[in-house]
Amino acid sequence: MSVLIPGETCWRRERAARAAFLIDTEAYFTAAFEAMISAERSIHLLGWGFDPRTRLFPDGFDGPNDPDEVGHILIELARQRPDLDVRVLIWHSALPISASQEFFPHRARRWFRNTGVKFRLDDSVPFGACHHQKVLVIDDKVAFCGGGDISVDRWDTPAHLEEDQRRIMPRQECHDPRHEVMMVVDGPAAAALGELSRQRWRHATGEVIAPPAPTEADPWPNHIPAHLTDVDVGIARTFPAWRGEPAVEEIRHQTIAAIRAAREIIYLENQYFTAPPVAEALAERLAEPDGPEVVLISTGRSPSWFDQLTMDRARTTMIWRLTAADVFGRFRAFYPVTSGGLKIIVHSKVMVIDDELARVGSANLNNRSGGFDTECDLTVLAQKPEDRLAIAAFRDRLVGHFMAVTGDAVSKARADHGGLCAAIDALNRDGRLTPLKPRKMSALGEFIAAYHIGDPANVGDSWLLGRRREKVYAEARKLADERAQALLTKPRSP
């Protein structure tokens, strides 16, 4: 599977001696803490949102100036190690977005004032777009990338309990269960993400940062085993065309290429599913008699009213499209719930293709993640038999944890029942994975879905609804035409 082409479907293809998948934020926060306290040269964080009050080890009790709050941890590290370069670069969100969050990112400037932590807000995107990359780099030697921000409403465990006092927020209320996935890498792949963070800092502030000096220390978290070793990592990005800079749409191109290369299983976890080109590429594969299975796991209902108004309605159209294309019964779409039926927020952005490719990052399966916001994803390709086992185990563990079964149980069920869809059907006895079905929409809902309100594909159509609808569906039609032409020219067997 050759879908990592630098300059087309990825920015760089770099080696990592170790790579690991972190399922849910308890694992990420613990690993991030271990890496940060081992830092000798630099800690650089990019985020969509950030709250310095975020507790990395919540115990259900909160008070002022908790020592496990990330803000205090960063300040203390900078105080103890004056040569440590600690930088936090967060999207300068618009007021309506900030007001919907637990903590205004702007207030963090006051939190870090007169400390060794350099905190900046980044507004270097077009109006309406956002910086959505989530990257943490330690000494250019270890780097994290995925869907999770360091914020007070993110922490959870793979158990996704109905009630968990550790999901407590500063005002003593508990947030809903939430699913996140991150990837951690080292070596040249981590150094490349360090370069990415420095480029963002320079673009946002004008300040040029030199790479950190080499160090012998290894900040890899001690408790995290490497799931893959000596593996190529593709770094793919999205940047909008802005202020003379060309658009970068590597993630969008990689998504389509990976779907087309799939043989047996396309597994997707994503907060959103609204991009017609992606839906059309999946529909083409479902229409093939011997095509792959497609399993999508998303949130039952978006937590914000704006996403309910826009993204949820557009997703209904995409689900209708795939349901209609599923003539061979190989499509499943689910939303997960707890043991008591409480909806779990799926915020992860994961794609696993067969046992060959695994991608974890910040990009959603919507239009704006393909060309309007900034994004960063990491993709690993299997090159050895043990890589294939690790990728398959990662996917099976993800599927299984939603149903409160092990990844090994999913693997066995796949073998016993002949595929991932059949395995889920057999194991999902408690209904923890609930079918995600299209909803009937009002005329307003149909208008919002048709014109992708709140979900532009690029800068050019961000304010032109007619052009937006034309552009996103034109790309989908182009994919369909290319597929039809390929079928017409394919040699027929005698």
For the chain, residues with pLDDT lower than 50 are 487-488, 490-494
Note whether 208 and 253 are same-domain residues.
no
Write down the residue that tokens 């658009």 correspond to.
247
DSSP class of residue 166?
G
At 160 the pLDDT is 98
CATH number for the domain spanning 282: value is 3.30.870.10
> For 45-70, how does the pLDDT look when each residue is reduced to its tens digit (9 = 90+)?
999 999 999 999 997 555 556 789 99
- Of 174, 198, 226, which residue is a domain's last? 226
How many Å from the N-terminal Cα to the C-terminal Cα in the chain? 28
**φ/ψ of residue 258, rounded to 5:** -65, -40
- 190 and 265, same structural domain? no
Query: Last residue of a domain, which of 202, 226, 250?
Result: 226
Same domain, 165 and 244: no
Same domain, 288 and 412: yes
Which is nearest to 300 in space by CA: 349, 361, 341, 359? 341
Q: What is the pLDDT of residue 494?
A: 34
How much is the pLDDT for 445?
Answer: 73
The SS3 assignment for 330 reads coil
Q: Write the CB contacts of 185 (distance below 8 Å, at least 6 apart in sequence).
A: 16, 18, 19, 142, 143, 145, 193, 233, 378
**The domain containing residue 52 runs over which residues?**
19-226
CA distance 414 to 417: 5
In a domain, 9, yes or no: no
Q: Are residues 266 and 200 in the same domain?
A: no
**According to the model, what pLDDT value does residue 101 have?**
54
The whole-number pLDDT of residue 403 equals 98
Q: How far is Cα 240 from Cα 373, in angstroms, rounded to an integer?
A: 6
The number of domains in the chain is 2
- Assess whether 208 and 122 both reside in one domain: yes
CB atoms near residue 163 (< 10 Å): 10
